[in-house]
C-alpha cells in the first residue's frame, strides 16, 4: 500500500508539473500588439466566463445575458452570506470554514472537500471566509506566476524562498529541474529559519514586508548571509520606510506581488512598475478620492468559485504617467498603478474644520468641503508623516470613533514627536484634530497582516 501510494503521489506531482509547464508556456505566449488588441481578447474571454457563470452558479441563474453590466456588484459579506450559491460544488461555508481552520491549526494544507482545496482568508477585513481552488486552477496560478515572476524564463533557473502564512502541496509540484521552491512557515519564528535560508541560498525571496524587515535586520547584524537577486513584497502594504531599509540592506529593488483570496491581481515588471493582471481579471474602478479607486474584479479563469464584479476592500493609487493604452517601458499594455495603498478601512475619516480651527487653510483640491463634513485622510500620508517624526521606528494608529485616535509608538520615547506630527498633518489637511490618546505598542504575530493605520468604525464621506 505504501509503495502504491508513493507511486500515486509521484504520478500526481508529475501531472501537476506538466500542467504547470503548459500554463507557463501559454502565459509566456500571451502578448498583445496594443491596447485595442488586448481589449478584444479580454472581451472574448469575459464572454466565455460570464456565459458559464449563468449556467453553473445558482446566484447568477436569473441574470438575463452574459454582459458584465447585467451582473450585480457584490461584496465579501454578500458572498459569505450566500456562499453555496457562489461555488459550483454547492459547498456550505460552515463545512469549509471548519476544515480550513482545522488545517490551519495543524499547519497541514493538504486537505480538501469535493475535489477542491480550501484556503482560509486572513480575515483582516473582519470577515473570515474561505477560497476554493481546483487542481486545474492551481496549475494555472502556478504557471502564470512563474511566467510573470521569472523574466528570464524557467531555463535560467531560480531558487525561490516563499515565506508565507499558509503553504500547500502546490509548491512541491512547481519545483523541479532548474527551479526550486522552498516554503517557510510564517507561524514559526523567523530566527528559526535563518540557517535553512542560508543553506538554500535563494535567488528569489518573497515575503510580507514585516518579515523582509526582520530579515534585513538579521542580515545587517551578520546573522544571515542570503543575497537574493530579486525580492518580492507580498500580502501587505509596502511602506516606503520599510522599502528603503530592505533595498539598502540587500542591494536590490523590492518588487511587489499583489495577490489576495480573490486572485493573482498584479505584479511588478522588470522595470519595477506594478501592473494589474488584466489578462487574468477585469478591473472596474470605483473612485474613493483624487487619483484613488477601489477595484471591482471579475476573474476570467476561476471556475470553482465565482469572482464576478466583486468589490474589494483595497485602495489603489493611479500611476500619474502611465495609463491604459500607454505601454510601460517593459512593453506591456496592461495597466500600471502607482501602489496599493491599503484597505478602505485604512482611511481615517475626520470632520472638515473651519479655517479658525486649524493652523493652515489647505483644503484638499476639489473636495468642496463644508465645515463639519467628514473627509478622508489617506493612510500613505499618515504613514509618511509619523515615520518621519524624530526617533519613530514603528507605530500603529487606530481610529475607534470619529473624534478619537489611539496612537502607539515604538520606542515610547518618540510618542510626543509622533503625536505632534500627526496633529500637524491633520491640521494642514484642513481637518479637525480629534483626541489622540497614547496606546501600548504591541507587535502582532507574523501570520497576522501588518496594518499601521486602521479605522474600526463604519462611516461614509458626505
- Please write the tens of the pLDDT for every residue from 140-157: 888 898 889 887 777 778
> Higher model confidence: residue 166 or residue 462?
166
pLDDT confidence of residue 175: 53
140 found inside a domain? no
Q: Is there a domain that residue 446 lies in?
A: yes
Average pLDDT over the chain, rounded to an integer: 84
More confident residue, 369 or 460: 460
Q: Which residue has the higher pLDDT, 177 or 345?
A: 345
Contact 230, 203 (CB under 8 A): yes
Closest to 234 (Cα-Cα) out of 213, 216, 258: 258
pLDDT band at 372 (very low <50, low <70, confident <90, very high): low
Is residue 306 assigned to a domain?
no
Query: Quick check: is 431 in a domain?
Result: yes
Regarding pTM above 0.75, the answer is yes
Residue at grid coordinates 520599510: 242
**By residue range, what is the domain housing residue 447?**
347-455
Structural domain includes residue 110: no
**pLDDT range class, residue 186, cuts 50, 70, 90:** confident
E-only strand ranges, 221-307? 230-234, 254-260, 263-268, 274-276, 281-289, 292-299
- For residue 5, pLDDT beyond 80: no
What confidence tier does 355 reach under pLDDT thresholds 50, 70, 90?
low
The predicted structure's pLDDT at residue 83: 95
Phi, psi of 399 (to 5 degrees): -95, 110
How large a percentage of the chain has pLDDT more than 70?
Answer: 84
Q: What is the pLDDT of residue 178?
A: 76
Buried b (16+ CB within 10 A) or exposed e, 191-219: eebbeebeebebbbbbbbbbbbbbbbebb
**Any domain includes 407:** yes
Model pLDDT, residue 268 = 95
Q: For residues 328 and 367, give the distance between their C-alpha atoms in angstroms, rounded to a whole number.
A: 31
Residues linked to residue 284 through DSSP beta bridges, in sequence order: 296
**Domain total for the chain?**
1
The Cα 17–Cα 211 span in angstroms is 29
State residue 405's pLDDT score. 93
Question: So what's the pLDDT on residue 47?
Answer: 98
Cβ contact 224:249 at 8 Å: no
- Owner of C-alpha cell 491596447: 35
Residue 63: all three cell numbers together: 441574470
Integer Cα distance of 17 and 143 in angstroms: 9
190-247: pLDDT as tens digits: 889 999 999 999 999 999 888 999 999 999 999 999 999 999 999 888 888 899 999 9
pLDDT digits (tens, 9 = 90+) for 39-58: 999 999 999 999 999 999 99
pLDDT of residue 1: 39
Using an 8 Å Cβ cutoff, are 375 and 369 in contact?
Answer: yes
Q: Is residue 37 part of a domain?
A: no
- 358 part of a folded domain: yes
Give the pLDDT score at 243: 93
| CATH code for the domain of 441 | 3.30.300
How do residues 87-132 score in pLDDT, each as one tens digit?
A: 999 999 999 988 888 877 776 666 678 888 888 776 555 466 788 9
Amino acid at each position: 500500500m505504501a509503495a502504491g501510494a508513493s507511486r500515486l503521489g509521484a504520478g500526481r506531482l508529475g501531472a501537476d508539473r506538466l500542467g504547470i509547464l503548459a500554463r507557463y508556456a501559454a502565459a509566456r505566449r500571451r502578448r498583445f500588439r496594443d491596447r485595442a488588441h488586448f481589449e478584444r481578447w479580454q472581451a472574448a474571454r469575459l464572454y466565455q466566463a460570464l456565459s458559464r457563470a449563468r449556467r453553473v452558479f445558482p446566484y447568477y441563474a436569473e441574470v438575463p445575458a452574459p454582459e458584465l453590466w447585467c451582473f450585480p456588484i457584490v461584496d465579501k459579506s454578500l458572498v459569505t452570506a450566500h456562499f453555496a450559491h457562489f461555488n459550483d460544488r454547492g459547498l456550505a461555508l460552515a463545512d469549509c470554514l471548519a476544515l480550513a481552520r482545522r488545517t490551519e491549526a495543524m499547519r497541514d494544507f493538504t486537505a480538501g472537500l469535493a475535489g477542491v482545496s480550501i484556503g482560509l482568508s486572513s480575515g483582516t477585513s473582519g470577515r473570515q471566509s474561505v477560497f476554493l481552488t481546483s487542481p486545474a486552477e492551481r496549475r494555472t496560478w502556478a504557471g502564470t506566476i512563474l511566467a510573470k515572476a521569472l523574466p528570464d524564463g524557467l531555463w535560467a533557473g531560480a531558487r525561490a524562498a516563499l515565506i508565507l502564512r499558509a503553504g500547500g502541496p502546490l509548491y512541491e509540484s512547481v519545483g523541479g529541474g532548474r527551479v526550486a521552491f522552498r516554503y517557510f512557515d510564517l507561524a514559526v519564528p523567523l530566527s528559526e529559519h535563518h540557517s535553512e535560508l542560508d543553506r538554500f541560498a535563494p535567488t528569489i525571496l518573497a515575503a510580507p514586508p514585516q518579515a523582509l524587515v526582520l530579515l534585513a535586520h538579521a542580515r545587517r547584524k551578520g546573522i544571515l548571509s542570503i543575497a537574493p537577486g530579486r525580492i518580492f513584497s507580498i500580502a501587505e502594504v509596502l511602506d516606503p520606510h520599510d522599502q528603503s531599509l530592505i533595498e539598502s540592506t540587500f542591494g536590490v529593488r523590492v518588487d511587489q506581488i499583489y495577490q489576495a483570496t480573490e486572485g493573482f491581481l498584479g505584479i511588478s515588471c522588470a522595470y519595477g512598475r506594478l501592473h494589474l493582471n488584466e489578462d487574468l481579471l477585469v478591473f472596474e474602478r470605483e473612485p474613493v478620492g483624487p487619483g484613488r479607486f477601489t477595484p471591482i474584479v471579475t476573474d476570467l479563469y476561476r471556475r470553482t468559485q465565482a469572482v464576478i464584479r466583486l468589490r474589494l476592500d483595497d485602495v489603489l493609487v493611479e500611476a500619474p504617467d502611465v495609463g491604459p493604452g500607454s505601454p510601460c517601458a517593459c512593453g506591456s499594455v496592461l495597466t500600471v498603478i502607482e501602489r496599493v495603498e491599503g484597505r478602505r478601512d485604512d482611511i481615517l475619516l475626520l470632520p472638515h474644520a473651519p479655517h479658525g480651527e486649524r493652523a493652515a487653510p489647505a483644503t484638499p483640491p476639489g473636495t468642496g468641503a463644508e465645515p463639519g463634513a467628514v473627509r478622508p485622510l489617506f493612510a500613505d500620508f499618515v504613514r509618511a508623516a509619523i515615520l518621519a517624526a524624530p526617533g519613530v521606528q514603528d507605530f500603529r494608529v487606530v481610529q475607534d470613533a470619529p473624534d478619537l485616535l489611539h496612537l502607539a509608538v515604538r520606542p515610547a520615547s518618540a510618542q510626543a514627536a509622533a503625536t505632534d506630527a500627526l496633529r500637524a498633518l491633520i491640521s494642514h489637511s484642513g481637518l479637525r484634530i480629534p483626541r489622540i490618546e497614547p496606546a501600548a505598542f504591541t507587535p502582532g504575530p507574523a501570520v497576522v497582516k501588518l496594518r499601521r493605520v486602521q479605522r474600526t468604525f463604519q462611516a461614509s464621506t458626505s
